[in-house]
Structure 1
Amino acid sequence: MRFRGSLTCLTAAAWLLTQGIGSVHADLPELYERDQLRVCADGNNLPFTNSAGEGFENRIAELMADDLDVPLRYVWAPQVMGFVRNTLELRVCDVMIGVVAGYEHLQNTNEYYRSVYALVVPADFDADVTRLDDPALKGLDIGVIAETPPIVPLRRSGATVRNYLLQVDTRERAPVRDAIADVANGSLDGAVIWGPMAGYFAARHDPPLKVLPLHEDDSDVRLDFRITMGIRRGEPQWKDWINDFIDRHQDEINAILVEYQVPLLDRRGEPLDSASLNAEETS
């Protein structure tokens, strides 16, 4: 779903739905020396990226540039239809920091985190919901981004689903932020949102909203996604360098993700808390 995102401009699923396909200049040779790190990104897509460098993908890009010992440069474009075609495929930039694993129109690196859709509810919500068929959802008014995986299972659960737009120009609209704000102001009982966005925006209300990762869901849709970085095909040395970077800096990356309240899952799909991360770091 960096994406990435990043995944998606809005969700991991959005990456699968909104990226353009193109192979312009695909036969040019791979760069072997880099005098800058050129990142394809959306300038208005928190918590992933923004032009002020406030997103967690911005922070990871800074780590990469420091490791390469080169300046960091962004190519900004709204993540709507054609984003890949107009940035990465045109070779005006060289990496997308957040892309859902398995996205077939570019080359994926190794994953660097795994997250899951989450239910955002008021702080006093007293049910521990971890799946979309939980009886506690019946009759509730739940916000969801249109065309994303939770919609059909939510309707089956008996919830009333309110759709928020999927494909928007992020310079003008912020549907995820709007949906979570509607939970905070009481217009919605809850919202089911891609985990990194759920955690980030829920924490920015007073009091913070509760975020319940749906890690035990076994409906016929996928709610958890592995997130990689995306590069052009035919660049094996660049892929090898990024995979090595991820391996060497995974602890720092995890710390950034935790700072941004990203709900993280381990390789078995179980939630990773701070204690689990500390154990992994010392093992």
Structure 2
Amino acid sequence: MRRIGAGLLAVALAVASAAGAQAQLAELRSTTAFRVCADPAAVPLSAQDGSGFENKLAELMAAKLGLPVAYSWFPQGSGFINRTLRAGTCDVVMGYAQGDELVQNTNHYYTSIYGLVTRKDGDLAGVDRLTDPALKGRELGVVAGTPPASHMARAGLAKDMRGWDLFVDRRVENPVGDMLAAVKAGTLDAAVLWGPLAGPLVKADPELQFTPLLKEEAGPKLFYRITMGVRPAEQDWKRELNSLIRRNQAEIDAILHDAGVPLVDDYGKALKP
């Protein structure tokens, strides 16, 4: 009987401990501010001066909740989620790709795609797929390790590729800006870049254009659904954000369009008007 009693006590203590841990985790979310985990120098997405389009989306969400925005700044890359969201210093990551296991994803609030950046007056301005023979023997920029690099290698462009690092501290390095400057100067013929990074910068430059890669058929995919990321246990918070996204999708789309983010349908086949 003592053994049974001891066993029941152990189970009860374990359940109480788990419940306490869940309650403690649930209490991490602030009720006085919309606390955002963000990179301070990921222009045009987020910036410490508030100029990024993710800053504007955060302001929209906060306004709908009747709360001020508060940021926890940390460079994106290794350790970003552990040092911010999981540490409890903030409650939501804006602009997180659907399917990443480090966070719990909300419903997606936009879908975007990789594309080709060229000069508007260049002879590659009409290229809209990576298998176009016109790309052979040209200097092509790409961020190493990103999905387009696989497509380019398969298309026989490996010897033409010039790679930039994927994870850098954007406070001191700017691979996307460097590639765009090289295309503009003519030292690169084209660059293959993620739309939300390149689109807003290209929109501000009358000499460049961004052509979405809508016609690529083989994997890996070049379009991604973008969500907000929250802690895995915070189901109520995820549902609240899902409701905000659904009710304010038109305003979200307007902010993204105004920023120059290329929006596509959920299957990456056509531009979203």
TM-score interval, smaller chain: 0.7 to 0.9
Report which of the two structures shows the higher radius of gyration computed on alpha carbons: 2
Note the 1:250-265 alignment, pairs <5 A. Answer: 250-265=249-264
2:148 matched residue in structure 1: 150
1:6 matched residue in structure 2: none
Scaled by the length of structure 2, what TM-score is found?
Answer: 0.86
Q: Does structure 2 retain, via aligned residues, the 8 Å contact 1:139–1:158?
A: no
1:140 shift after superposition: 1.4
CA RMSD of aligned residues (A): 1.7
Is 1:65 paired with 2:62? yes
Scaled by the length of structure 1, what TM-score is found?
Answer: 0.83
1:125 matched residue in structure 2: 122
Which amino acid in structure 1 is aligned with residue 192 of structure 2?
A: V
1:256 shift after superposition: 0.8
Single out whichever of 168-177 and 146-155 deviates more from structure 2: 146-155
1:64 shift after superposition: 1.0
Single out whichever of 97-106 and 122-131 deviates more from structure 2: 122-131
1:235 matched residue in structure 2: 234
1:30 matched residue in structure 2: 26
1:26 shift after superposition: 7.0
- Three-state SS of the structure 1 residue aligned to 2:248 is helix
Single out whichever of 145-154 and 106-115 deviates more from structure 2: 145-154
Single out whichever of 131-140 and 29-38 deviates more from structure 2: 29-38
1:15 matched residue in structure 2: none
- Three-state SS of the structure 2 residue aligned to 1:198 is helix
Q: Deviations over 1:246-269 (max 9, x none)?
A: 011111111111111111111342
1:129 shift after superposition: 2.8
Q: Deviations over 1:153-212 (max 9, x none)?
A: 21333430001111111111010111111001111000000011121222233x330111
1:46 matched residue in structure 2: 43
Q: Does structure 1 retain, via aligned residues, the 8 Å contact 2:30–2:91?
A: no
Residue 218 to residue 26, structure 1, CA distance change in 2 (3 Å)? farther
Is 1:169 paired with 2:169? yes
Q: Does structure 1 retain, via aligned residues, the 8 Å contact 2:121–2:207?
A: no
- Three-state SS of the structure 2 residue aligned to 1:247 is helix
- Three-state SS of the structure 2 residue aligned to 1:104 is coil
Identity %: 45
Q: Partners of 1:202 and 1:26 in 2: how far apart?
A: 47
The structure with the greater share of residues assigned to helix is 2
Residue 83 to residue 138, structure 1, CA distance change in 2 (3 Å)? same
1:139 shift after superposition: 1.5
2:192 matched residue in structure 1: 192
Which amino acid in structure 2 is aligned with residue 186 of structure 1?
A: G
Q: Deviations over 1:220-249 (max 9, x none)?
A: 322110000000011111111100000111
Q: Partners of 1:210 and 1:92 in 2: how far apart?
A: 39
Q: Does structure 1 retain, via aligned residues, the 8 Å contact 2:225–2:266?
A: no
Which amino acid in structure 2 is aligned with residue 208 of structure 1?
A: E
TM superposition outliers: structure 1 runs of 4+ over 6 Å: none
Among 117, 136, 139, the residue aligned to 2:137: 139
- Three-state SS of the structure 2 residue aligned to 1:60 is helix
Q: Does structure 2 retain, via aligned residues, the 8 Å contact 1:263–1:271?
A: no
2:244 matched residue in structure 1: 245
Which amino acid in structure 2 is aligned with residue 100 of structure 1?
A: A
Q: Deviations over 1:77-123 (max 9, x none)?
A: 11121000000000110000110000012100000000110000001
Residue 140 to residue 86, structure 1, CA distance change in 2 (3 Å)? same
Instruction: For structure 1, list consecutive stretches of 5 or more residues without a partner in the other structure.
Output: 1-24, 277-283
1:33 shift after superposition: 6.7
Q: Partners of 2:131 and 2:162 in 1: how far apart?
A: 17
Is 1:220 paired with 2:216? no
Q: Does structure 2 retain, via aligned residues, the 8 Å contact 1:117–1:192?
A: yes
Residue 33 to residue 204, structure 1, CA distance change in 2 (3 Å)? closer
Q: Deviations over 1:3-54 (max 9, x none)?
A: xxxxxxxxxxxxxxxxxxxxxx974242477111110001100111001100
Matched residue count: 249
